Chains A and B, each alone.
Chain A
């Protein structure tokens, strides 16, 4: 029985040493550590800067961002510009991949240092920004643009030729 004997006594000595040594517990809710730079907490959006380009909504793998976009004529030039009336970030879906932050052209969506994400229901985690709330129960999957049908002409022919060549190569 290798467990009984010296090995056990050695282990007991180690645990006794731990019992008497200094504890390294952090008293978390009272004492909060300074979050490191570029740490990823909950997402937030600065609505004043948002240009409603919908890039964050498109790139989000979890479809956790949904934007209610309209066009408004701000400066009276007769050319309406896109404007986000409602902006919703569903933190219950977000996986903190930071893709939306990287893709935003005006840096208006960013991570805060807030990491205590908790609520009693999932809908409480869908945080609303902007003037009009967005329905968080609807899957905010962005509309995928339909691929344009391949037109005839040189371009299409070239593609077909290329394809055929590839096939031949494979066959050979």
Chain B
């Protein structure tokens, strides 16, 4: 087993296998999370959720995908056709690409970039471009308004998101995600969530806003606000938009786990699983994803002004203050 793993660790194999894992992960997180979301919603609303296809609805994602493939893909007559069709791809690709730098286990990372964190924050902001493209390309007033709301929200929450990463960067002294995880070795009390608790809160809230989920889902607002940037989409293009939302939700929880919850580090030293450390990573990511869904079904939606207030008047100053505290603390402690 050990020799086999070592053989797989050599260069072409390591890359190919981790690449395949990431492709499967990105495509499947969206499908599985859709089911999980509906089940969690059902349980919170005192019903079962989808439970007719397969055992307790386990085949529901497959049925959904088939239905969406069969559905006609309609584009509005006056739409800017190329922009309209490229927008879902522009939204999906960043969400898929960032998985490249996420360390699942000590050896399971496609490319251990030196500038991993910079790569993450720069690539997530491409999502705003996709939203603008969808709104502008649809040639519909509601889409355009939704897209502008979305862009305003995503850009304003990009600032606290990046600021909240700086504390971790100061403590690690590196932008590589694998280094961040390595520094958190040795029990859960070494995880950055304790020393960076306000930063964790800021990052968590900003990541919810970044993936456009309730309570920050103003860009979409399915029921209360009249549609968002995705009104005009149907069939597989709509599915791509939804998939990118769910994939980036999984991604954001993975990044949260990597930065603040010790990544693949087990909570205690004696629980180290060797080559199976990715199980810890998966468990923690699943937990964070569940809290995201839990928040979604508990908290009412923000108004636009409340949203901006929270971003600029609470999260940005808080992260700046804690950045100062972290910097001073590193100077004093050494």
Contact = CB atoms under 8 A, between A and B. Distances in A.
Interface of A: 1, 3-4, 8, 11-12, 14-16, 18-19, 21, 23-25
A11 B314 contact: no
A23 B309 contact: no
Interface stretch (B39-47, B68-76, B99-107): B39-47
Interface of B: 40, 42-48, 215, 294-295, 297-300, 302, 306, 309-310, 314
A15 B297 contact: yes
Contacts, number: 44
Contact of B298 (A1, A15, A24): A15
Given A1-B309, A8-B299, A11-B298, A21 B46 contact: yes
B47 A3 contact: no
A16 B294 contact: yes
B44 A15 contact: yes
A14 B42 CA distance: 14
Contact of A23 (B40, B46, B299): B46
Contacts of A19: 40, 43-44, 294
Which interface residue of A1, A19, A21, A24 has the most chain B CB atoms within 10 A?
A19
B299 A3 contact: yes
A18 B49 CA distance: 14
Given A1-B309, A1-B310, A24 B46 contact: yes
8 contacts: A1-B314, A4-B314, A8-B298, A15-B294, A18-B44, A19-B40, A19-B294, A25-B46
Nearest to B52: A29
Given A19-B44, A23-B47, A24-B47, A12 B309 contact: no
B309 to A, nearest CB: 7
A23 B306 CA distance: 35
A19 to B, nearest CB: 5
